[in-house]
Structure 1
Amino acid sequence: MGLRGKTLAARLRRAGRMLPKRLRAEGQYLVEAERKLAHPRLATQVDAARVEKAFGALEEHLKSIDAADRRRSRLIHWLAGLVFNLLILGALVLIVLRWQGVI
């Protein structure tokens, strides 16, 4: 997704709503598991199967994202907004010219 951040928690924060709600929850579980695994006594509370499931779900979703398609889509939306604004500007110019009696 092109997100920057030193830790998984920072990257998930930046991802925000770009991830589906279920995957955000899986990501939060991974962050909690990472925090618990850093402590020897809390490491026993981490469910390895759940960690694998969460990691697999996030990995599958991220592999399905086509970066080129996202860039192309962003460019098309930007151009569409620009064309729409130019149409509104042209209409306003015509209205003002008509009002002034030039046309």
Structure 2
Amino acid sequence: MARDLAAEIEDLHKMLRAREGGRGDFAGVLKKRRRSLPRRVYRQGLQLAAAEPILRHPHLQMTVDEVPLWRAAKELRDHLESIDVADRRWGRVLDVLGSMGFAVLVVIGLLIFVLRLRGFI
């Protein structure tokens, strides 16, 4: 059963790298993507990352309580599966376009204000 949990953590690591990006081991990717994950999901991921080296050791893996780790893995998997990468990219594009549009409106407003102040309009 612990081997299955280690394989589940490895699958979650691959899914986290695919959905959120990042390099390195599971704990490293979690720490780099801390702000993009909800706090509860991040804590569950840290719990899994702390258990990962213990699960690799044949004698120590028998000391691990697997039930909370399976719950944490399920919660992390559910969150990662709910992420729509294409929608996230589209949101970033719209954010950039919105920022640029606002900047253009501010510049036009300032231009009109200065022209009115100088008496040209």
The normalised TM-score by structure 1 is 0.89
Q: Shift of residue 42 of structure 1?
A: 3.7
| Aligned residue number for residue 29 of structure 1 | 47
2:30 to 12, 35, 53: 12
Q: Shift of residue 40 of structure 1?
A: 4.8
Aligned pair count? 103
Q: Is 1:45 equivalent to 2:63 in the alignment?
A: yes
Q: What's the RMSD between the two structures over aligned residues?
A: 1.5
Contact 2:20 2:33 in 1 (8 A): no
Q: Percent identity?
A: 36
Determine the C-alpha separation between the residues in 2 that align with 1:30 and 1:2: 17
Instruction: In structure 2, give the amino acid aligned to 1:11.
Output: V
| Aligned residue number for residue 80 of structure 1 | 98
The normalised TM-score by structure 2 is 0.77
Q: Shift of residue 80 of structure 1?
A: 0.9
Q: Deviations over 1:9-40 (max 9, x none)?
A: 11101111211111111101001101322445
Determine the C-alpha separation between the residues in 2 that align with 1:32 and 1:6: 15
1:63 to 81, 104, 118: 81
Instruction: In structure 1, give the amino acid aligned to 2:104.
Output: L
Q: Deviations over 1:32-77 (max 9, x none)?
A: 1013224455433311222211111111110111111111111111
| Aligned residue number for residue 94 of structure 1 | 112
Runs of 4+ aligned residues of structure 1 deviating over 3 Å after TM superposition are: 38-42
